[in-house]
Chains A and B, each alone.
Chain A
Amino acid sequence: MSWTAIARKDFQDAARSRALWGLTALFVLFMAGMAWVFTLFRDSAGAGAPPELESVGLLFFLVSPVTLLIPITGLVVAHKAIAGEIESGSVKFLLSLPHTRRDAVVGKVAGRSAVMSAAVLVGLVVAAVVVLATYDSFDATAYVGFSVLAVLLAALYTAVGVGLSAFTKDGGRATILAIGFYVVFDLVWGVVPMGVNYLLNNSFVPSGAPPEWYLLLNRVPPSSAFSSAVFGFLPGNSPAVAQYFPQDVPFYLSKWAAVATMLLWFVVVPALGYWRFQAADL
């Protein structure tokens, strides 16, 4: 279990840097801040009795900011994990000890994911305190479920960052790969299903209910898989999203398929990175 030593060392290294503390502060401010901002929406709801302030509503409210913040921070934390060690020369310490290159990749994924997960969890716990203090209801099951998915998303993007960093020996190139991944899967992926639809039907947006392949393609990016899982698992789908999250769906559009997509990302990118790394001359 030689990767555990690497994971522990990597976590210690990060814990001594200001990065972990800065990251934790960021997530605390962000999650707790969002929990508070959400109360303002209720207060500004206008005439009539204000709707109940529900924690589940907050969770839906959190989805899109979470899918903005976690991917960026995860990639920032991890994107030089391997390439940076090769560039600086510390990898020569690491690999002159009896660790395989696979141990190095697995250990880095574990260590850095732990750093990210810790920061996200602390943020969620502080937000839960805000919710308990100011909200009318607290659905603990939903909150824990959301937290598990958010931690999985954080671990996933960290793993993607580590995997990408194993593709190259150059720290600058590793940064470009991480930015490229973010641009493709988090910014512009939306045009891919539209493009395919254009080729098939001569129109960018499907008319009527979107076909199943269109929905599937939409869920490929990690953040979309996360959103799909959240909408699938949390109670109370609004009619507006029902079109994109139909009830009777083939297995590949189920909520479990969304979780499986996340797990696939978590495994596949580090595996590809390892495949390149194990063949490289250091």
Chain B
Amino acid sequence: MQTFRRMPAIELHGVTKRYGDVTALHDLDLEVKDGEIYGFLGPNGAGKSTTIDILLDFVRPTSGEADVLGMDAQADSQAIRRRIGVLPEGFHVYDRLTARQHLTFAIQSKNADDDPEALLERVGIPDAIDRKAGGFSKGMQQRLALAIALVGEPDLLILDEPSTGLDPNGAREMRAIITEEADRGATVFFSSHILEQVEAVCDRVGILKAGELVAEDSIEALRAAADTSTTLTVTLDAVTDAAADAARDVPGVAEVSVDGDTLVVRADSAAKTDVLDAVEATGADVRDFSTEQASLDDVFAAYTEEVSA
């Protein structure tokens, strides 16, 4: 049905993927809007690559539906792949083919008319054009793979862990190219297990954990959530269960852990004094305390790590 809203670049509905009795993805819903840069975050093994493999029809979902650029990921896979650029994860170059031959193959495959030299110039390895890719460092292979993904001005770029093997400088150049592509009008969907790589460029972020989307929001909203979260470290004469329980019972406290004679409390900023009062009320003597604002990393960690109370 034609609507005024532009068609989403990626749309997953209730996608589940099981390998034997292991569930890699559980009832995943995901929508990436046309033209946005979407960061797909999650620890290794969360199901990011499985999701991308389903978009590319490398893997078929056990149930659910996946659409890319308004086409069915399975039935219309070839048509989809004509219009997208992919940087796969865990890929391997053809050892005996040169960078130029790799790009020529991709250009022919997509009926594009790109210039291999210009593409390699863009990803920063123009001098390697006639060298066999088997001798490339991991970082150079990654740059070559990015150049291949850029062939044919794709409407959607799917980049799986694009910064793998890149030094900080290379990762920065990668982000610059992602921004350029988005400015051209392309949608960018890229996965990472490192937050700082996505926070600089992404419009929106989805956080995947154990095959489920546990958070999805703009970077600003996630940052706002981080700002209201504080880590309070309280050093006592002796930590008692009563003191820890009292802290845990204070409204606004998310998490309390014990480390020697200190209590580490994660809570809303406003709950700080209440926590100190509650702990002192149990008879404990507060020797020292400090507070620390949570970073975006802590928010990410809170979503993706097992909570240890």
Q: Nearest residue in B to A93 (C-beta to C-beta)?
A: B91
The answer to whether B109 touches A2 (Cβ under 8 A) is: yes
B138 contacts the other chain (CB 8 A): no
Contact B88 A93 (CB under 8 A): yes
Inter-chain contact B92/A281, CB cutoff 8 Å: no
CB within 8 Å of A: which of B36-79? 53, 56, 58-60, 77-79
Chain A residue at minimal CB-CB distance from B97 = A13
Within 8 Å CB of B91, what residues of A? 89-90, 92-93
Q: Is the interface of B mostly helix, strand, loop or mixed?
A: mixed
Assuming A9-B97, A89-B91, is B110 touching A97 (CB within 8 A)?
Answer: yes
Contacts of A92 in B (CB 8 A): 58, 86, 88-92
A16 touches B97 (CB 8 A): yes
Give A17's nearest chain B residue, CB to CB.
B96
Residues of A contacting B92 in the complex (Cβ-Cβ under 8 angstroms): 88-90, 92-93
Any A CB within 8 A of the CB of B228: no
A146 to chain B, nearest CB (A): 33
User: B101 near A: Cβ within 8 Å?
Assistant: yes
Smallest Cβ-Cβ distance to A2: which chain B residue? B109
> Hey, which chain A residues are within 8 Å of B59, CB to CB?
281-282
Residues of B close to A89: CB separation below 8 A: 88, 90-92
Name the residue in A92, A93, A96 with the highest tally of chain B Cβ atoms < 10 Å from its Cβ.
A96
- Given A98-B78, A99-B78, answer yes or no on A5-B108 (Cβ-Cβ < 8 Å): yes
Of chain B, the residue at the smallest CB distance from A14 is B96
Contact B105 A9 (CB under 8 A): yes
Asked whether A5 and B109 contact (CB < 8 A) given A13-B94, A90-B92, A96-B86, the answer is yes
Determine if B109 and A99 form an interchain contact, defined as CB atoms under 8 angstroms apart.
Answer: yes
Q: How far is the CB of B110 from chain A (nearest CB, A)?
A: 6
Q: How distant is the Cα of A98 from the Cα of B92 in the complex, in angstroms?
A: 18
Query: What residues of chain A lie closer than 8 Å to B148, measured between beta carbons?
Result: 93
- Report the separation of the CA atoms of residues A97 and B94 in the bound assembly, to the nearest whole angstrom: 14
A5-B108, A95-B58 in contact; A90/B96 too (CB < 8 A)?
A: no
Check if B58 sits within 8 Å of A97, measured CB to CB: no
**B88 contacts A13, C-beta separation under 8 Å:** no
Chain A min CB distance to B11 (Å): 19
Instruction: Tell me, yes or no, whether B82 is within 8 Å of chain A by CB.
Output: yes
Q: A98 — which chain B residues lie within 8 A by C-beta? A: 78-79, 81-82, 109-110
Counting chain A CB atoms within 10 Å of each CB, which of B79, B82, B91, B110 scores highest? B91
A105 to B209, CA, bound (A): 36
Which among A8, A88, A90, A97 has the highest number of chain B CB atoms within 10 Å? A97
* A100 close to B (CB within 8 Å): yes
Give CA–CA (A92, B161) in the complex, Å.
14
Interface residues of A in 78-110 (CB under 8 A from B): 88-90, 92-93, 95-100
Whether B109 and A90, one on each chain, are in contact in the complex, defined by CB atoms closer than 8 angstroms, is no
C-alpha gap A13/B58 in the complex (Å):
24
Given A5-B109, A93-B91: A100 and B60 interface contact (C-beta under 8 Å) = no
Q: A12-B97, A281-B58, A281-B60 are in contact. Are A97 and B109 (CB under 8 A)?
A: yes
Q: Nearest chain A CB to B162's CB is how many angstroms away?
A: 13
CB contacts (< 8 Å) of B19 on chain A: these are 281
User: How distant is the Cα of A8 from the Cα of B94 in the complex, in angstroms?
Assistant: 13
Cβ-based interface call for B207 (8 A): no
B30 in contact (CB, < 8 A): no
Tell me the complex Cα distance, A48–B96, Å: 58
Q: How far is the CA of A122 from the CA of B59 in the complex (A)?
A: 42
Q: Given contacts A9-B97, A9-B101, A90-B93, is CB(A96)–CB(B53) below 8 Å?
A: no
In the complex, chain A residues whose CB is within 8 Å of the CB of B86: 92, 96
User: Complex: how many Å from CA A16 to CA B101?
Assistant: 12
Judge whether B265 is part of the interface by a CB distance below 8 angstroms: no
Rounded to whole Å, the gap between the CB of B197 and the closest CB of chain A is 21
CB closest chain-B residue, reference A15: B96
A residues in contact with B58, CB < 8 Å = 92, 95, 281-282
Which of A90, A92, A281 has most B Cβ within 10 Å?
Answer: A92
Taken together as a complex, chains A and B put the C-alpha atoms of A142 and B105 apart, in Å, by 40
The verdict on B106 contacting chain A, using a C-beta distance below 8 Å, is yes
CA distance in complex: A9, B145 (Å): 17
With the chains together, A282 CA to B56 CA distance in Å? 11
Which residues between 133 and 181 of chain B lie within 8 Å of chain A, taking CB atoms? 145, 148
| A238: min CB distance to chain B, Å | 47
Enumerate 13 A-B pairs (CB-CB under 8 Å) in ascending A order.
A9-B101, A12-B101, A89-B92, A92-B86, A92-B89, A93-B88, A93-B92, A95-B58, A95-B81, A98-B78, A99-B81, A99-B109, A281-B58
Residues of B within 8 A of A (CB): 19, 53, 56, 58-60, 77-79, 81-82, 86, 88-94, 96-97, 101-102, 105-106, 108-110, 132, 145, 148
Besides A5-B108, A9-B94, A97-B81, 8 new A-B residue pairs in contact (Cβ under 8 A), listed by A number: A5-B109, A17-B96, A92-B90, A93-B102, A93-B145, A93-B148, A96-B86, A100-B78
Which are the 3 A-B pairs with shortest beta-carbon distances?
A96-B86, A92-B88, A89-B92
